[in-house]
Amino acid sequence: MRVVRARDGRELAVETRGDPRGRPVFLLHGTPGSRLGPVPRSAVLYRLGVRLISFDRPGYGGSERLPGRRVADAAADVAAIADAMGLDAFAVVGRSGGGPHSLACAALLPDRVRRVAVLVGLAPRDARGLAWHAGMTRSNVRDHTTADAAHRRLAARLELRSRTIRDDPASLLALLREEMPLPDQLVIADAGLRTMLLRTYAEALRTSADGWIDDTMAFNRSWGFGLDRIAAPVLLWHGEDDVFSPVAHSRWLAEHIPGATMVVQPGAAHFAALSVLPRVLAWAAAGDGRERSVPA
């Protein structure tokens, strides 16, 4: 782990893995989440020729909070990290809550982002023609509805939940499991994956719920950029049975991002994105002209 200073002086906790001479790919974590993953093993990243860069979004883990941040603000933090590492160009992959932030990078850093992939992402809250809450779990609907109505109520709810998770990180998986469809339950049955998830949740919330609160608020206000500004190749991947961020969100994005490629996997749900991640990273890293097939 290293610390990089954002342009306004905030500290950002950054992690790099894989081949240090490989093609750089930023991986933007979910909500809640941290730089710790889940990520493919270093041996897999070496084989793919990927230098994987992840960081804690403001308010999570070791990164300082940016009060009132918007989704668009992620682009400046990614640019600051890339500058500190001497990277002119790179790809960006965002999973779940990291998806909107990866699209911000594509829209606002057009000369630097070569490819962008969004796994089980969300559409903008004001997406016309999209029933935004349809198909979501009750807990997600409650959080996002509260974010619409009252920041203080949302903060109190997530702070309480975060304290419980800090005492017992497995409690979050237990809560999620109550609402998971069978495909997700089968993915989470893997002990190694559960260990990675518990580690990233513990790091994400080890000091406060600020990152979780600010992510949720950011999703429910204007993102701060237009999707029509995205020129890089975009891959949208979604499990058809996802109940945490329903597949209709990616279908809406596919209709509103010029030239986007949409992949829907039947019989898969939210956490299947972790299984397809190595193939998506290979696709993202191929932005140097070497075409690779779109992950199915």
Per residue, what are the HEC states of the chain? CEEEECCCCCEEEEEEEECCCCEEEEEECCCCCECCECCCCHHHHHHHCEEEEEECCCCCCCCCCCCCCCHHHHHHHHHHHHHHCCCCCEEEEEECCHHHHHHHHHHHCCCCEEEEEEECCCCCCCCCCCCCCCCCCHHHHHHHHHHHHCHHHHHHHHHHHHHHHHHCCHHHHHHHHHHCCHHHHHHHCCHHHHHHHHHHHHHHCCCCCHHHHHHHHHHCCCCCCCHHHCCCCEEEEEECCCCCCCHHHHHHHHHHCCCCEEEEECCCCCCCHHHHHHHHHHHHHCCCCCCCCCCC
> Which residue's structure tokens are 């097939």?
293
Q: How far apart are CA 169 and CA 206, in angstroms?
A: 10
Is the torsion defined by CA of 209, 215, 221, 222 positive or negative? positive
Amino acid at 164: T
246, 261, 205: which is closest to 33 by C-alpha?
205
Q: Which domains does the chain have, with CATH numbers?
A: 2-285 (3.40.50.1820)
pLDDT in tens, 134-161: 999 999 998 888 876 667 888 888 999 8
pLDDT at 148: 66
Query: Would you say residue 175 has pLDDT above 70?
Result: yes
| Local confidence band at 296 (pLDDT 50, 70, 90 cut-offs) | low
pLDDT in tens, 247-264: 999 999 999 999 999 999
Q: Are 140 and 30 in contact (CB under 8 A)?
A: no
pLDDT at 289: 45
Query: Would you say residue 5 has pLDDT above 60?
Result: yes
pLDDT in tens, 8-49: 999 999 999 999 999 999 999 999 999 998 999 999 999 999
Residues 6+ apart with CB under 8 A from 88: 82, 112
Q: What's the chain's average pLDDT?
A: 94
| Local confidence band at 215 (pLDDT 50, 70, 90 cut-offs) | very high
- Please report, for residues 18, 67, 89, 143, 255, the alpha-carbon distance to residue 212 in angstroms, rounded to integers and kept in the order given: 28, 12, 29, 11, 28
Query: Would you say residue 292 has pLDDT above 70?
Result: no
Question: How many residues comprise the chain?
Answer: 296
| Local confidence band at 213 (pLDDT 50, 70, 90 cut-offs) | very high
pLDDT in tens, 75-117: 999 999 999 999 999 999 999 999 999 999 999 999 999 999 9
